[in-house]
């Protein structure tokens, strides 16, 4: 396994295993987020989740959903997956814009909704979509998809974090 920033990337030629690894990390972070506790720590976990989802969702939207549409010939399924990802993005935006007034109720409710939305999406992908993509793509197609995913994700490490930029600029 290698790293892209904080984001682990499985090496090898198994595109589906790479996606399932992402899903496991997302589920773990969501599980941490729904636990009561310090709001600052939960915000940190939320930021980690957003970073993981940014890379994962970009990968799926740029490579996996087109493969779902073209190779598996599941146009309506691909369209639905795009919509579900956008719904999660809206929830993340809403969570980010909640007032920080010490009332955790709305934060907890939105986090629970986010968890339910993302987990349903992930469960569907793993149970219904990925098997059809595997069947349609075949071994060679999956190998090419894995290579494309690795190349695509490698672009994310080229952009330094704000803290890295501040450190270089002497502003850290």
Taking only the tens place, the pLDDT of each residue in 61-94 is: 999 999 999 999 999 999 999 999 999 999 999 9
Q: How far apart are CA 46 and CA 30, in angstroms?
A: 8
Q: What was the pLDDT predicted at 94?
A: 97
pTM over 0.85: no
Its domain, for residue 23, covers 2-168
Question: Do 26 and 118 touch, CB atoms closer than 8 A?
Answer: yes
Q: How far apart are CA 31 and CA 20, in angstroms?
A: 16
In CATH, what number is assigned to the domain containing residue 84?
1.20.120
Task: For residues 31-36, give the mean pLDDT.
Answer: 90
């Amino acid at each position: 396994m290698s790293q892209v920033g904080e984001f682990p990337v499985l090496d090898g030629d198994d595109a589906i295993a790479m996606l399932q690894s992402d899903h496991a990390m997302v589920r773990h972070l969501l599980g941490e987020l729904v636990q009561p506790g310090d709001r600052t720590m939960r915000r940190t976990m939320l930021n980690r989740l957003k970073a993981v989802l940014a890379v994962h969702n970009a990968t799926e939207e740029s490579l996996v959903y087109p493969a779902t549409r073209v190779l598996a010939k599941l146009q309506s399924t691909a369209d639905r997956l795009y919509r579900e990802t956008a719904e999660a993005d809206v929830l993340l935006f809403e969570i980010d814009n909640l007032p920080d007034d010490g009332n955790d109720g709305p934060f907890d409710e939105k986090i629970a909704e986010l968890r339910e939305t993302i987990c349903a999406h992930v469960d569907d992908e793993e149970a219904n979509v990925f098997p059809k993509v595997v069947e349609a793509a075949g071994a060679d197609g999956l190998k090419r998809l894995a290579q494309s995913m690795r190349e695509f994700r490698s672009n994310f490490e080229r952009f330094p974090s704000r803290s890295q930029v501040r450190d270089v600029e002497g502003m850290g």
